[in-house]
Amino acid sequence: MVDVVCFGEILWDLFETGKRPRTDAIARTFRRELGGAPANVATGLARLGVRAAVVGGVGRDRFGQALVQHLAGDGVDVRFVVKLPSRTGLTFVVRDARGEPEFLFYRHASADLSIRAAHVLPAMGRARWALVGSSTLMTRELARATARFLEVSERGAAALFVDLNVRAHLWPSRGVMERAIARLVRRAAVVKASDADLRAVSGGRRGLRWLEQHAPHATWLITRGAGPASAIGPHGSVDVPARRARCVDATGGGDAFIAGVLATLLAARAVPGAEVWADAGTWRTALRAGHMMGKKAVSRAGAVAGLVDLDPVRAVVASVAPTAWRSPS
């Protein structure tokens, strides 16, 4: 059994580098970095010492091989990565002066979108936590694979962490999107969303009311960019200010935040129904670790490139561990 299994896209992000030519809006060169929110979260967790696995598809090509090697090199469990005849997914990332990314996807029928229910095995659900993002619901076949993963995760007694990653323009309609995401969050123990995600999924309505309607039993984690993050649940509501940071690339900030939070919950043995789950101090520490990871992630181009020198984060995470407990080797 692993601590966390992350289900969804695994791909390469290609970042423009160097100076732009005066007569051309496109940079001359691009650098590849690990991409896909589940892969980013799994890598952040592994670098914090958490046993993390990723479930997703890569192509039987050099890009796919390099992705598996990259993840394995970070200590991510890659035995559930499915190698498919489709091409490995690519995303070009262009950033504005504030580091906010704009994505250009080259993922038509790519391997990350070609996972099917038949690829999902019972062993993939044997974990303490299962992480799923809303982007795995956008096509019928991928949604069926997601449903199968949720099924095996429930059988494996994994608590569900849902990452709202809402890109409304990729859905056939806002109504279809909202209904699919609503079905997903009803099953969650934790729902993480940015303010922008909540506005997108709720059609501009007050996001917390949308969560009250569709995820009333979950703990909610709300991020606000450079503003404070909130954790709302049985413990009440706690807010922790973000750490000041120069944002070079915001692409993986939310993924790193999730890794910090999940690592803290695991260290505290915090699961729904446990006494520590309702302890505001647990969530305050989780938000603090999340912010520390997020600050590192946005400091460099690439979702996980900045996740180095993590001893200060590990110390914060370890501070919630029961005194008699030691992290498994």
pLDDT digits (tens, 9 = 90+) for 92-130: 877 666 656 666 777 778 999 999 999 999 999 999 999
What SS3 state is found at 104? strand
What's the pLDDT at 53?
98
In percent, the amount of the chain with pLDDT more than 90 equals 71
Task: Please state, in angstroms and rounded to a whole number, the distance separating the CA atoms of residues 51 and 77.
Answer: 8
pLDDT at 205 over 90: no
Would you place residue 15 in the very low, low, confident or very high pLDDT band (cuts 50, 70, 90)?
A: confident
pTM over 0.85: yes
Q: CA of 231: how far to CAs of 155, 186, 261, in Å?
A: 27, 17, 10
pLDDT at 328 over 50: no
DSSP class of 325: -
What's the pLDDT at 329?
38
User: Could you tell me the two tokens for 127?
Assistant: 């974990």
What's the pLDDT at 39?
97
User: Could you tell me the two tokens for 223?
Assistant: 């991020």
Give domain limits for the chain.
2-11+36-90+111-315
Q: CA of 293: how far to CAs of 132, 264, 314, in Å?
A: 20, 12, 10
210-236 per-position pLDDT tens digit: 999 999 999 999 999 889 999 999 999
Question: 2-11+36-90+111-315 belongs to which homologous superfamily?
Answer: Ribokinase (3.40.1190.20)
What SS3 state is found at 101? strand
What's the pLDDT at 324?
41
What's the pLDDT at 101?
67
